[in-house]
Structure 1
Amino acid sequence: MSATLTPDAPAPASGRRSAAPAVVDPVFTRGALTDLGVVVALSIIAVLGFETAYGDENFLLVGLGGVAAGALGAAAAAALRLAALPAVLLGVLVYFLLGTPITMPELAILGVLPSASSLAGLAIGAVFGWNDVLTLATPVQAPYYIAALPYFAAWAVVLIAGLLVLRWLPRRRSVLRATVVVLMPTLLYVAGILLGTDEPYYAAIRGITFAVICLVWVGWRRARAEGVLDSPHPAYRRRRLGGAAAVVAGGVVIGIIAGAVLAPAPAERFVLREEIEPPFDPVEYPSPLAGFRQYTGTLAEEELFRVQGLQPGQRLRLAAMDSYDGQLWNVAGRAVAEEGSGTFQLVGTDLPEPPLAETGSASTLTISIGAYDDVWMPELGYTSELDLLDEGTAARADDLRYNPTTGSAILSSGLERGARYRVTGAEQSIPEDAALAEVPTAQVALPPVDDVPDVLTSRAVELAGQETSAIAQLRTIEQRLSSEGFYSNGLPTDAAPSRAGHGADRMVELFTRTPLIGDEEQFAAAFALMARHLGYPARVVMGFAPEVPEGADEVAVLGSDVTAWVEVPFEGVGWIPFFPTPDETDIPQDQVPLPQSEPQPQVRQPPRLETDEEDLLTAVELEESDPDDEEQGFVIPGWLIGIGGALLALLLLYSIPLGIAAALRARRRAARRRAEPDRAVAGAWQELTDRFAEHGVPVPDGGTRRTEGEAAAAALAARGAEESAAGGVATLAREVDGDVFGGRPIEPERVDDRWSRVDDGVAALAATLTPWQRQLARFRVTRRGARG
Structure 2
Amino acid sequence: MSRFTRTAASGKPARPAPAPKPRADRPTGPGTAWRPFPRAAWTDVAVLSVLSLLGVLGLETSFGDYNFLVAGLGGLVVGTGIAMLGYSLRLGVVTSVLAGILAYFLLGTPFTMPGEALLGVFPSVSSTAGLALGAVFGWKDIVTLGTPVEAPYYMPVLPYFAAWLIALAGTMLASRWLPTRPRTVWRTGILLIGPVLLYLTGILMGTDKTYFAGLRGVVFAVVAIVWIGWRRTKTESADAQGAARLFRRKILGTATLVLGAVLIGALVGGVLAPDPKSRYVLREEIQPPFDPLEFPSPLAGFRQYTKTLADTPLFSVTGLQPGEMLRLASMDAYDGKLWNVAAADSLVGGSGSFRLVGRTIPAPSLVTSNQDSTVTIDVTGYEDVWLPGVGYPTTVDFDDAASQDESETLRYNAESGTAVLTSGVESGYQYTVSAMLQQTYRDEDLANVPVADVQLPAVQNIPDVVVAKAIEYAGTADTPIDSLRAIEQALKTKGFLSHGLASDGIPSRAGHGADRLNELFTRTQMVGDEEQYAAAMALMARSLNYPARVVMGFAPDVPEEAGAIEITGTDVTAWVEVAFEGVGWVPFYPTPDQTDVPQDQTPKPMTEPQPQVRQPPRMDNEADDLLTAVEIADTKDEDKDKDFELPGWAWVVIGSVGIPLVLLGVPLLVIAALKSRRRRRRRSRGTGDQRAAGAWSELTDGFAELGFEVPRSSSRRQVAVSLEAQLAAQLADTSGASDVVDAAAFVAPHRLVPVADSVDSAVFGGQRIEDDVVESNWTAAMASLATAGKSAGRLRRIFARFRLRSKRDWSQVNVRGSRGSGPGRR
TM-score (normalizing by structure 2): 0.72
Q: For 1:256-302, what per-residue CA distance to the aligned partner results, in whole angstroms no more than 9, with x for missing partners?
A: 33433332231232323344455556567665445534543435585
The alignment partner of 2:503 has SS state of coil
Structure 2 residue 167 is the aligned partner of structure 1 residue 158? yes
Residue aligned with 1:589, SS? coil
For residue 364 of structure 1, what is the aligned residue in structure 2?
372
2:235–2:243 Cα contact (<8 Å) kept: no
1:562 alignment partner AA: V
* TM-superposed deviation, 1:147: 5.0
Q: Which residue of 1 aligns with 2:433?
A: 421
Superposed, 1:340-351 pairs within 5 Å as 340-348=350-358, 350-351=360-361
| Structure 1 partner of 2:707 | 696
- Distance across 2 between alignment mates of 1:461 and 1:118: 42
1:424 maps to a residue whose letter is: M
Identity percentage over the alignment? 45
Q: Distance in 1 between matches of 2:370 and 2:400?
A: 26
Q: Tell me by how many angstroms 1:364 deviates.
A: 1.0
Which residue in the other structure is 1:619 paired with?
none
**In 2: Cα distance, 1:186 partner to 1:499 partner:** 62
**CA 1:105 to 1:409, structure 2 compared with 1: closer, same or farther past 3 Å?**
farther
C-alpha RMSD of matched pairs (Å) = 5.2
The one-letter amino acid of 1:422's match is S
- Structure 2: gaps of 5 or more residues: 1-15, 22-27, 602-630, 732-743, 820-826
| Residue in 1 that maps onto 2:12 | none
How far does residue 331 in structure 1 lie from its aligned partner after superposition?
5.2
Pairwise mapping of residues 702-713 of structure 1 onto structure 2 (< 5 A)? 702-713=713-724
Q: Displacement, 1:86? A: 4.8
Amino acid at match of 1:369: I
TM-score, normalised to structure 1, is 0.75
Pair 273,217 (structure 1): closer, same or farther in 2 beyond 3 Å? same
- Describe the SS at the equivalent of 2:192: helix
Taking a change above 3 Å as real, the CA distance of residues 262 and 511 of structure 1, as seen in their structure-2 partners, is: farther
Aligned pairs for 1:44-63 (under 5 A) are 44-63=53-72
Aligned match for 2:252, one of 222, 231, 243: 243
Q: Say whether the 8 Å CA contact 2:35–2:87 is kept in structure 1.
A: no
Shift of 1:693: 1.3
Structure 1 residues 427 and 320, CA gap change in structure 2 (3 angstroms): farther
CA displacement, residues 607-645 of structure 1 (integer Å, 9 cap, x when unaligned): xxxxxxxxxxxxxxxx99944544427543222343354
Q: 1:15 — aligned with what?
A: 18
Gaps of 5+ in 1: 1-12, 592-622
In 1, the alpha carbon distance for the partners of 2:390 and 2:432 equals: 15
Number of residue pairs the alignment of both structures matches = 731
Once the two structures are superposed, residues 426-452 of structure 1 have per-residue CA deviations (whole angstroms, 9 ceiling, x without a partner) of 479999799769x98836489xx8xx8
* SS of residue in 1 equivalent to 2:170: helix
The 8 Å contact of residues 545 and 563 in structure 1, kept in 2 or not, is answered as: yes
> Displacement, 1:694?
0.8
- Comparing 427-436 with 237-246, greater Cα deviation is found at 427-436
Equivalent residue letter for 1:762: L
Give the alignment of 1:82-121 within 5 angstroms: 82-95=91-104, 115=125, 119=129
The residue type paired with residue 272 of structure 2 is L
Structure 1 residues 117, 95: CA separation in 2 closer, same or farther (over 3 Å shift)? closer
Alpha-carbon deviation of 1:734? 2.0
Deviations 1:684-707 (A, max 9, x none): 323322210111222222432211
User: In structure 2, what residue type is equivalent to 1:442?
Assistant: Q
Aligned to 1:714: 725
Residue pair 1:441, 1:571 contacting (<8 A) in 2 also: no
- Relative distance call for 1:23 and 1:411 in structure 2 (3 A) is closer
1:255 to 265, 269, 273: 265
**Distance (Å, rounded) in 1 between the aligned partners of 2:279 and 2:585:** 48
Aligned-partner Cα distance in 2 for 1:135–1:161: 30
Relative to structure 2, which stretch is displaced further, 551-560 or 202-211? 551-560
1:730 maps to a residue whose letter is: V
Pairwise CA distance, 1:249: 3.6
* Cα pair 2:579 2:586 within 8 Å, conserved: yes
Report if the CA contact (8 A) 1:465-1:473 is conserved.
no
User: Per the alignment, in what secondary structure is the counterpart of residue 699 of structure 2?
Assistant: helix
Check whether the contact 2:368–2:584 (CA below 8 A) recurs between aligned residues: no
Structure-2 change in CA distance of 1:718 and 1:284 (3 Å): closer
Q: Which residue of 2 aligns with 1:3?
A: none
Within the candidate set 189, 201, 210, 1:191 is matched to: 201
Matched, 1:776 2:799: yes
Amino acid at match of 1:174: R
Give the partner amino acid of 1:15: P
The whole-number CA distance in structure 2 between the counterparts of 1:178 and 1:186 is 13
Aligned to 1:207, the other structure's residue is in SS state helix
The answer (yes or no) to whether the contact 1:690–1:698 under 8 Å persists in 2 is no
1:684 aligns with 2:703: no
Paired residues of 1:693 and 1:782 also in contact (CA < 8 A): yes
Out of 559, 565, 572, the position equivalent to 1:562 is: 572
Counterpart AA for 1:368? T
Match of 2:8? none
Q: 2:753 aligns with which of 715, 721, 730?
A: 730
1:764 aligned residue: 787
Give SS of 2:266's match.
helix
Offset, 1:203: 2.0
CA shift, 1:352, in A, is: 3.2
Structure 2 partner of 1:585: 595
For 2:97 and 2:557, the matched residues in 1 are separated by 67
Deviation track 1:14-40 (CA, whole Å, cap 9, x = no partner) reads: 436999558366154565455444433
Matched, 1:754 2:762: no
**Whole-angstrom CA distance in 2 between matches of 1:427 and 1:76:** 71
Mapping 1:332-481, distance limit 5 Å: 339-348=349-358, 350-354=360-364, 358-371=366-379, 373=382, 376-383=386-393, 385-386=394-395, 388=397, 397-411=407-421, 414=425, 416=428, 419-426=431-438, 442=455, 444=457
Q: Deviations over 1:628-679 (max 9, x none)?
A: 5444275432223433544434543552342133134345445655456555
- Residue 762 of structure 2: aligned partner: 739
- d(CA) in 2 for partners of 1:536 and 1:118? 40
- Alignment pair present for 1:268 and 2:278: yes
Give per-residue Cα distances to partners, 1:211-237, cap 9 Å, x unaligned. 4544565455457x4439997999668
Q: Kindly state the Cα deviation for residue 709 of structure 1 after the two structures are TM-superposed.
A: 0.7
1:771 offset after TM fit, Å? Answer: 1.5
Partner in structure 2 of residue 665 of structure 1: 675
Deviation readout 1:19-78 (Å, 9 max, x if unpaired): 955836615456545544443343233112112223344433444454455345535654
Change in 2 beyond 3 A, CA 1:316/1:172: same
- Compute the displacement of 1:501 (Å): 5.6
Shift in CA distance, 180/104, structure 1 to aligned 2, threshold 3 Å? same
Task: Give the Cα separation in 2 of the matches to 1:480 and 1:103.
Answer: 58
**What CA distance in whole angstroms lies between the structure 2 residues aligned with 1:444 and 1:240?**
73
**Residue by residue, what CA displacement relative to the aligned partner does 1:358-383 show, whole Å, maximum 9, x if unpaired?**
43334311112145645544445544
Cα distance in 2 for partners of 1:493, 1:626 equals 57
Of 171, 191, 196, the residue aligned with 1:181 is 191
8 Å CA contact retained: 1:524, 1:580 = yes
State the structure with more CA Rg: 2
Kept after mapping to 1: 8 A contact 2:208/2:281: yes
Mapped partners of 2:211, 2:314: distance in 1: 53
